Structure 1
Amino acid sequence: MRIAFLTAPEGVEEVELTAPWKAVEGAGWNPQLVSTEAGQVQAFDHLDRAGRFTVDHVLAGDTADAFDALVLPGGVANPDALRTDERAVGFTRSFFTQGKPVAAICHAPWTLIEADVLRGRTLTSWPSLATDIRNAGGTWVDEPVRVCRAGPSTLVTSRKPDDLDVFCAAVLREFDRAAQA
């Protein structure tokens, strides 16, 4: 499976990128770092600069065609930048249109809100997004991980870095389930 990890050029929470990435690699799948700019992505450990990661694919009107699933890591700045970029929003929306699984952690649902894909879905996130999710037609719950199979796409969401173990386990399970379908 080829898994897109969509990030802005700066602001992704490093552990929310690297933990699911390692899980996907460990499953024998092919993670690809997708961004809105070429070069490297600057990750953060909360507010402190952390590692840099090389971009594998730059968005240019792309859809989900070349990928089997999407992971949206969090961080505050990362999804805030992505939700203002129509290429990123359209790319994200296309996974739902094509019925491919999506996983999002922490503040990443901001991109899902902008893509208008949350109506009728139940999900979790960083608590400060609860009202935004409700206003976008979703139901917010305070749980370590939530799998929602409403609609053609499975959506796996999680709240924060402390939930990464259960998030990564759910991502692997649900992406594998989609691949077997």
Structure 2
Amino acid sequence: MKPFTADQPTGSHKELWPTQSVKDQTIAFINHVYKYCYKSYKNESEKYEKKYDCLYFVITAIGFAVTILIGLQKILEAHIGPLGDLFITCSIFILPSVSSVLLLLMNQKGFKKKLELREEARIYSKYLINEAKIRFGASTSDEEYQEIYKWLNTEIKKLQESQAKGYMAVHNVSEKTNG
């Protein structure tokens, strides 16, 4: 997605704010929401998705490895000797424990819930940006541009408050299970 432009001045949003027209301030704010909200939520969503997928893959691989080790233990018991048999038996008991610890970590850290929260925020912030652009395109007066600015500011504030509450709820749940 390219930044929204309508012959806007260059430079920092805050530096130019006092000298910008209401129209230019609205354009700058829409770009600000894209750059600092949408992209942030998108990056966080991708980060949690990668963590969740990685842990899920490791847990699945461990389960598969245990199944293979059980099969190999029976097939190779005559060839591996007592030390090899002991190694496989220990692995069969240790690997599920590692898998359980990873599953506990994954649930306690709330990776899936954080992924869901950030993905919801990414989708909603994208909607807000698109809606603001549509409203901007239909506007012709400073009052209409100012209404878009106020509306977008209010919606972003609601989104950020919702994200903070959801994020803290995930952490409070994990703290209660720890303490």
TM over 0.5: no
Q: TM-score, normalised by structure 1?
A: 0.24
- Higher radius of gyration, 1 or 2: 2
- Higher strand share goes to which structure? 1
Higher relative contact order (CA 8 A, sep 6+): 2
